[in-house]
Amino acid sequence: MASKQEKTKSIKERYSSGEQKSRHAMAEFGPGKREFIFCPHGEAVYFKKSWHHIAKFLRSYETRSHKVYETWSRKDVKFRLCPAHEMMKNKQYEGEVIIKNVPAKFRRELLNLIENMDERAMRKDVLDRVLGIKMAGNRLLTTTSENQLAQRIASKIGEVFKKQVAMKISRAKGGDIVRIEIDFNQF
């Protein structure tokens, strides 16, 4: 017969093994930190448990009351790469858009479209960005820090070039990585 204490435990507590982690600890970037972290390569600053544009940080800092200013002034200030720049350094990515058979007359237009999508994504979230654009022959390879950004870029290319492109989307098993292949039809 099970003891009274064992009966009161939830099923999850009884059958899970190892140390229990909170929801916050299991988040993508780990638990929140209590200091200010500035990215030396970009315009990102970490405060209030997430990464923000430095302009937002400065506006927030200026509008604080004297009491809040004193507590903020006691916080540690560190310099470390933001997750997006760490991905660039480690040559990691979550999204990849491969454009094959790019006609010469559309190269500049495609590059402008990708750069504009990058700029728009970075305005919304400082960690969303295009990590790299490589042109090799008639092939264009774009890597992104977020898989949703790669999907938005691909859908925008499909929208702009309509019947001139064929698209194939594939996801890595057990991961967040998405690879989108776009092939310009020969016309």
Domains observed in the chain: 29-80 (no CATH), 87-184 (3.30.70)
Q: Distance between CA 86 and CA 183 in Å, rounded?
A: 31
Give pTM, 2 decimals.
Answer: 0.74
Q: pLDDT by residue (tens digit) across 46-85?
A: 888 888 888 777 776 666 655 555 666 667 788 999 999 9
Cβ neighbours of residue 185 closer than 8 Å, sequence gap 6 or more? 101, 163, 164, 165, 166
Q: How confident is the model at residue 12 (pLDDT cuts 50, 70, 90)?
A: very low
